[in-house]
Amino acid sequence: MQTTSKLMPALVPEGGGEATQYLTFSLADEVFAVGILVIKEIIQFGQLTTVPLMPGFIRGVINLRGAVVPVIDLYARFGRGAAVVGKRTCIVIIEVTQEGESHDIGIMVDAVSAVIDIPAEHIEPPPTFGSTVRTDFIAGMGKVNDAFVIILDVGRTFAVGELAELEAALAA
């Protein structure tokens, strides 16, 4: 199933084969994607509570139906400084499961674009150089309409060691 939004035209990969669905979103003029199986919901950007002594990429926390959810500023996570909040800025709530434990995390993005299908044969390995994102954060480069979508490796981008530090700080 493919959906589109007013924010981005339909992205239709050429060719057949087994396809995986991805949620695409933008940061500045780049398009990123994460597999839809980790997506819990998308919410409007709202009031964040800052927490002292958090890493620079933790923008703050939100109360999501009684649960404290950290919100990660992907600009800062990628070493680009703090993101500027715009009209279409939103928070994508993802569930990261590592070592048998599930964690909900919010990721702050400029705008959510579309859910697209990318066949496995249209996904290239991460580049070894020249990327604006650490290569260990990239699961692959999806070729869609003669352009590339950067597919994030959720497990590495939101590493369990940093999550543990974050949870310990939130509990304190």
Burial 95-120 (b: 16+ CB within 10 A, else e): ebeeeeeebebbbbbbbbbbbbbbbe
In the prediction, which pLDDT does 15 show? 43
Taken as a whole, the chain contains a residue count of 172
- The torsion angles phi and psi of 165, rounded to 5 degrees, stand at -60, -40
Q: Report mean pLDDT in 10-residue bins for the chain, 172 residues.
A: 34 50 92 94 92 86 92 88 92 87 91 93 82 78 90 80 57 58
Under DSSP, the state recorded for 5 is B
Helix (H, G, I), strand (E, B) or coil at 163: helix
Topology (CATH level 3) of domain 19-171: OB fold (Dihydrolipoamide Acetyltransferase, E2P) (2.40.50)
Domain extents in the chain: 19-171
In the prediction, which pLDDT does 138 show? 87
